[in-house]
Amino acid sequence: MQIVRSPWSDPFHNCALEERLLKESGEDVLLLYINSPAVVVGRHQTVAAEVSCRFCEERHIAIARRISGGGAVYHDEGNINYAFIVNSAGGTLALDRDFTAPMVAALRAMGVEAAVGGRKEIRCGRYKVSGTASHVSHRRQLFHGTLLHNTNLQWLAQALKGNPAARGKGIASVPDEVINISSLLPTHETTEQFLLQIIDFLQDYYRTG
């Protein structure tokens, strides 16, 4: 597994990078990045139903659409994004492959009691710290997710207050209680420092695994 840190913080660049790696690369890649404030909606969602466009406009929060399904998520400098972009095993797509395992292992190595929930999210107790989504294309697959390290949870809640009446046939997001990983740790790393620790762990994980 090749581990790549994106040099960009622009959500549109990083969505495009995921798609390009999915469709044009033949390598197994784990892409990691931190976006500037943005709401990223799922492929089949209605923006107005999931996002407070006024709140986002007033605070210069970008609104982007990704190629995978699932619900809307909020990104900022306190959130880490990860994307596994891999070839199918033996020519067969396997979306049930446990892509969350290395992320859970990384969190546990840092003292966070993480576990996988029923929707392939990562949880700490009753709280969600990572939502995930997936997409398949030409015998390649994308599985990506968030890690809430030190996100502005007030902005997250406000940005994701859309108008359900506007949903139409769009897919609804599933609300859940969330918590920042930083509040569960005795140390006080920045999100960038926390990301570097995750990268160090994952490099060893794939080197020895």
Q: Which amino acid is at 147?
A: L
Using the 8-state DSSP alphabet, how is residue 92 labeled?
B
Q: What proportion of the chain, given as a percentage, has pLDDT over 90?
A: 84
Q: How far is CA 138 from CA 23, 141, 198, in A?
A: 7, 8, 30
Higher model confidence: residue 60 or residue 98?
A: 60
Q: Which residue has the higher pLDDT, 34 or 188?
A: 34
Nearest one of 185, 86, 94, 198 to 144, comparing CA atoms = 86
What are the extents of the domains in the chain? Answer: 2-208
- Largest interatomic CA distance in the chain: 51
Angle between helices 191-208 and 100-109 in degrees, nearest 10: 120
CATH number of 2-208: 3.30.930.10
pLDDT band at 97 (very low <50, low <70, confident <90, very high): low
Residue 129 has pLDDT above 80, yes or no: yes
Is 0.85 topped by the overall pTM? Answer: yes
Please name the residues in contact with 92: beta carbons below 8 A apart, sequence gap of 6 or more. none
